[in-house]
Amino acid sequence: SNPQSGANTPAGSPVLPDAAPEPQEPAVIRRADYAPYPWRVPAIRLDFDLGLETTRVEATLTVEPNLDADAAEDIRLDGDGLVLESVHVDGEERTDWRRDGEALIVPLSSGKHTLTIVTRILPSENTQLMGLYASNGMLCTQCEAEGFRRITFFPDRPDVLSVYTVRMEADREAFPVLLSNGNPVEEGLLDGGRHFAEWHDPWPKPSYLFALVAGDLVARTDSFTTMGGREVALGVWVREEDLPRTSHAMESIKRSMNWDEETFGREYDLDRFNIVAVGDFNMGAMENKGLNIFNTKYVLADQETATDADFDAVEGVIGHEYFHNWSGNRITCRDWFQLSLKEGFTVLRDQLFSEDMHGAAVKRIGDVRVLRSVQFPEDSGPFAHPIRPDSYKEISNFYTATVYNKGAEVIRMMRSMAGIEAFRKGSDLYFDRHDGEAATCEDFVKAMEDGAGLDLTQFRRWYEQAGTPQVTAEQRHDGDTVTLVLKQVVPPTPGQPDKAPVPIPLRIALFDREKGEHAGEQLIVLTEAEQEFTFEGFAKPPILSINRGYTAPIALDRDISREDLVFLAAHDDDSFARHEAMQELLLGYLLGDADDEARAAIGTAAQAVLADDALDNEMRAELLTLPPFAYLGERSKIYDPGAMVEKREGLRAWLGHEFAGQFRDYHERLTNLAREEGAQGKQARRMRSLALGYIAAADEAEGARLGLAQYRAAAGMTERQGALAVLAGLDGTEREEALADFYARFADNPLVVDKWFTLQAMALRPNVLDEVGKLAGHEAFTISNPNRVRSLYGAMSGNPVAFHQESGAGYRMIADLILELNMRNPQLAARFVPSLGRWRRVEPGRSAMMRAELERIAAAGTLSRDVAEQVEASLG
Ligand code: PHE
Ligand code: ZN
């Protein structure tokens, strides 16, 4: 037996996994400490004997010294919760291995070896949904970031690339379908009702891209011929009852493949591309090589059960995962600090894809809305980090809006500065230069410099510094000359007290006050803390339209009159800038004193928008959408959620009242168009439900009546959910009738039941928190499904009336949830901490209660690394 190991014996009887290791301060991992792994693992063979209760894994690794690294006499392999059965080296059983915590260390002489390790895992006990786990009777894997170590002992780090051969053996009735990465090579029947399949992936990949699926699934199939003439067999794998909802996913795959060829010159590289939909999934989806695994939410869609927004999200996420095949898989990350290398770039790619599919204007407005209501609060809060972090304790905590969305904005700025063609040269060079490698963000920046012809010396600060740059813009006018004075400050963030200026590309236009037009836009780049730009030929001070298209992810304060904002909100030819002017009017009112003049200016702009025939109805609805609470909270120095709800919803009622006739007219006039497919139908549905919201805000009875009518006559989920969202915020029988009908109609569809929970938890009603409490006891609620947890508590934590309820009961509810999920699903638990972490920015009474809940969590005993890191940062 082995002296170093308590519960694990090297040979013979399988035993339980090691008891949880002694609680100890989790180590801080630092970017500066990167060192290459001493061994290479050019090939791995995995033999699975699959079962829901227990699965046996035999891993055969070919290892050899890494000549680029320091030599090592032992090989150290990561593990997590594994039962070790045996270790063989070059065919001989070894007992001289040792354990260091969860890791396995095997003494090894230099040279090439074959290492065979047998482990046993327990999929149905895997509640973390990392590694191999069971979902609805099927088996599937999730390995990013560090889940592969829960399947077998392995150097579970992204810079170790191996060619995988996978053989799966299982009961044929329970698991008729056996899928893994790459291409199928062999399958066959075995004795005892069993069968097997073998897959081979020719492309070397890191362990986080490994995947396996076994289950009773059916596929929608199709094919795609690549630009090089390769025919790719496509499959969307789902449970049989979901098959009718897979056509949109399949079309989205083909559009993605085509777009990546046309836009980035990227061709698919295997004979197969499979997507599997899984009901229990921590994230949106995962880009495993040739076998993407998806949350059902981002695969299944039909008119009856999915909204227009759901359809677009499916297409966007399918694009995202597909695009990872090049930005992530062919070129992967050297270490997890480089996460934005693949995620920032791939988010940008999926955003551009969606812009091309449906128009850039509305997509850009939506993406910026997300950035400002999710990433800005992160960047100004206790967990602020650069898009390339310097340290972490638990990498799962860094799958953030900063790494993803700000990361995308940073690369978008390079694109704006280079121009589309030069940017393409940069991306071509990047793909060419680093194909097959585990690369760094620096590699990407260098390729952009060399390929696109940019000097990114100062620009690299965007990778180093956290915090949203605060820019102010002022205008001076003298004779014919306009001077634009721009100043920037990058605010201090935890661990980064002093910041340097960053290059900020700003697309601007100067509107001639007389003509109401501008003479063309231009791109200026603010590089200094303070800088002046002059423009000639303006007899009168022009109206400044700045950061058009949102070229830079900054917070901007411009010196501009209300009248000029009204002008831009009515006339700016850049859709984003027009929307921005409207938002500035709204923010000015909502963040300032309740001011009749400010409100009247909003009315003037809204009137122009309602009367503008040149606008499409989706853009019209965007322009009339009030800023989200999260962004209002972010922009408030000290946030008083109660007061903000009153003010914002008061403004909605005022607008609804002022324009009652027009909103009713739109609601009625668009009834038929809203039943149609295609872009105009979608635009009509958007405007119709927005109008309904304003009608209800001004006149509850009328809103209830029209809402129920819209609900009953709905031809699809967009109209139905749009009506129910409004009804759920009202009182009365219409609300009860519609909610009961909705549940009865869709009780057997989990994704729609999620909507039912969400709509109720989002309602801005005084007693919403009691409702949420009751819903937590509903027959359909379960803590073990992440979508369901998010549908109720994710919605609740974003609802200021519920979360910020004056008694503090909302904070307590979220803290209780975090504690309940802490060990069962640490990743999911940790996602709820930042809402409490905002305590410093909330008015004193609530602030103290939020902090107290964080302290209660901190004191609660054994915390997962995920929750501990978040809570520490929040209190720190
Ligand atoms: N890499 C996935 C994506 O962005 C996200 C993910 C991370 C999924 C970790 C699961 C676990 O597409
Ligand atoms: Zn991604």
**657-666 contacts, C-beta under 8 A, 24 or more apart:** 657/698, 657/699, 658/603, 658/606, 659/606, 659/607, 659/610, 659/694, 660/695, 660/698, 660/699, 662/610, 663/691, 663/692, 663/694, 663/695, 664/691, 664/695, 664/706, 666/610, 666/617, 666/691
Residue nearest to atom 6 of ligand 1 (CA): 286
**322 CB-contact burial (10 Å; exposed 0-12 / middle 13-18 / buried 19+):** buried
Our answer to whether residue 321 is catalytic in this structure is: yes
Which atom of ligand 1 lies nearest, measured to the CA of 281?
Answer: 10
350 Cβ below 6 A of ligand 1:
no
Gap between the Cα atoms of 149 and 357, Å rounded: 39
394 Cβ below 6 A of ligand 1:
no
Gap between the Cα atoms of 819 and 597, Å rounded: 48
For residue 7, the model assigns a pLDDT of 38
Least confident of 7-16, 80-89, 392-401, 685-694: 7-16
- Residue 854: pLDDT over 90: yes
Q: Which of 58, 85, 321, 658 is catalytic?
A: 321
Which tens digits make up the pLDDT trace of 733-768? 999 999 999 999 999 999 999 999 999 999 999 999
Radius of gyration of the chain (CA): 28
Residue nearest to atom 1 of ligand 1 (CA): 286
Candidates 764, 848, 861; CA nearest to 818 is 861
Which tens digits make up the pLDDT trace of 480-520? 999 999 999 999 999 999 999 999 999 999 999 999 999 99
Pairing of β 291-295 and β 522-526: unpaired
Residue nearest to atom 9 of ligand 1 (CA): 144
Gap between the Cα atoms of 415 and 424, Å rounded: 9
Q: What is the mean pLDDT of residues 651-661?
A: 98
Candidates 68, 190, 82; CA nearest to 126 is 82
pLDDT band per the 50, 70, 90 thresholds, residue 24: low
3-state secondary structure (DSSP) of residue 385: coil
Candidates 184, 233, 251; CA nearest to 213 is 184
**Considering the entire predicted model, what is its pTM?**
0.97
142 Cβ below 6 A of ligand 1:
yes
Which tens digits make up the pLDDT trace of 711-736? 999 999 999 999 999 999 999 999 99
pLDDT band per the 50, 70, 90 thresholds, residue 593: confident
Gap between the Cα atoms of 164 and 43, Å rounded: 6
Which tens digits make up the pLDDT trace of 275-334? 999 999 999 999 999 999 999 999 999 999 999 999 999 999 999 999 999 999 999 999
3-state secondary structure (DSSP) of residue 648: helix
Residue nearest to atom 12 of ligand 1 (CA): 286
Type and span of the H or E element at 1: none
Cα 691–chain centre separation: 29
Measure 342 CA to ligand 2 centroid, in angstroms. 7
For residue 15, the model assigns a pLDDT of 43
- Residue 3: pLDDT over 70: no
Measure 206 CA to ligand 1 centroid, in angstroms. 14
Determine the residue of 205, 278, 283 to mutate for testing ligand 1's pocket, defined as the one with the most ligand atoms within 8 A of the Cβ atom: 283
